[in-house]
Amino acid sequence: MNKLKIFYVLFLVILINSCKEKTSSIKTFIFSNESMPFDYSIKLNSFDSIYLQTRFPNPEKDEFGILRKEEKDSLFDLLEKIDFSKYKTSYSDEHLQDGEAFRFIIKRDKKIDSIFVYGDNGPKEFYELAEKIKILISKTEFKKINGKIDFEKLNYKMLPPPPPPPARASRSCHPSNIITNFPS
């Protein structure tokens, strides 16, 4: 009889633990995306809201939407699987001048991970993640908010790529090569 009681107690403990809703270690997730025709950032936290700040095309606007539980859980599960510590913080194609750039920022309890991707030389899983986020944004109905979204002083905006180096003057433009005898 004692063995049967122990079995029931163990069964109940296992059942109760398996029914608990799993919690994510992610407190805030920010995704910024910038290219010639657009510039925006989204912010997600542990709740079901998604915040969108569009900076280009003008005018700048701040909006919010509500995610379905499955959408949020799917994205957060994907984020939990990515080990940000095994990647560099920046992947940038120095020869590209007008490509698409992504910034991923994950804030956990005491740690902030950030990855910047500009061009085509970043890890494949970040391009896949960006596509999943873009699809999520396109499916979400957003409503304008009057205030500004609080991005928690995280560096979510992207810096433009540096300008190309100045062109060196060719010999033909040198003052000694300029023709000074003009026909009259």
pTM of the predicted model over 0.85: no
CA 1 → CA 5, 8, 15, 66, distances in Å? 6, 11, 21, 52
Say which CATH superfamily domain 21-145 falls into. Answer: Mago nashi (3.30.1560.10)
**Residue-level pLDDT at 6:** 67
Two tokens, residue 54: 């569009």
Residues with Cβ < 8 Å from 67, sequence gap 6 or more? 44, 48, 49, 50, 136, 140
Per-10-residue mean pLDDT of the chain, 184 residues long, equals: 63 58 79 90 92 88 94 92 92 84 90 90 94 95 92 65 56 50 51
**Residue-level pLDDT at 36:** 86
